[in-house]
Amino acid sequence: MLFLATAPAGAPPTPMTRIAAEANVPRKFLELILADLRDAGLLHSYRGKMGGYVLSRPAQLISLGEVIRVIEGPLALVPCVSRTAYRPCKDCKSEAECAIRLAMMRVRDETARILDGTSLADATAEKVAAAAA
C-alpha cells in the first residue's frame, strides 16, 4: 500500500509483479493480501496486459489503521478489549476489575489513535524524510 501510495495521481495501474518485487514478497502471498485489500475497498484492480492495482482513494484518505485491520485483523492485543472481535477471557474473574484489561484498553485506544491518524500519504512522507536525513 505504501508503494502504491507513492504513484503519481492518474498513473496507470501497477502490475502485481512490480509490487511483489518492490515489497520483496512472494507473488502468491501478495495475491491474497491484494485480494483482501480490494475486497475491503482500499484498492481497485484491473485485468489485462496493462492491468494492475491502484488505490481506491487518495493516499491521504486511507489510514494505516484501515490497512492493518484488513491484513492483520483487530488492533487489540487481547480479545476482551477488541471492538470488532470481542471474546471474554476464559480465566478472568471480573473484566471490570482486571488490571491487564484496563491497560490493554489504553494500548488499544492509543494504537488506534496513532494508526487511524496516520494516512498512507503521511507514512510515505515520513519515509522520504527519513531517507533524506
β partners of residue 44: 54
> Read out DSSP for 30-80?
HHHHHHHHHHTTSEEEE-STT-EEEESS-GGGSBHHHHHHHHH--S-SSGG
List of domains in the chain: 1-57 (1.10.10.10), 64-117 (no CATH)
What is the 8-class DSSP label of residue 113?
Answer: H
Q: Does 125 score more than 90 pLDDT?
A: no
Place of cell 484488513: 70
Q: Does 129 score more than 70 pLDDT?
A: no
Average pLDDT, the chain: 90
Q: Does 30 score more than 70 pLDDT?
A: yes
- What is the per-residue pLDDT for 127? 63
pLDDT tens digit sequence for 36-71: 999 999 999 999 888 999 999 999 999 999 999 999
- What is the per-residue pLDDT for 85? 87
Could you tell me the sign of the dihedral formed by the alpha carbons of 118, 122, 127, 133, in that order? negative
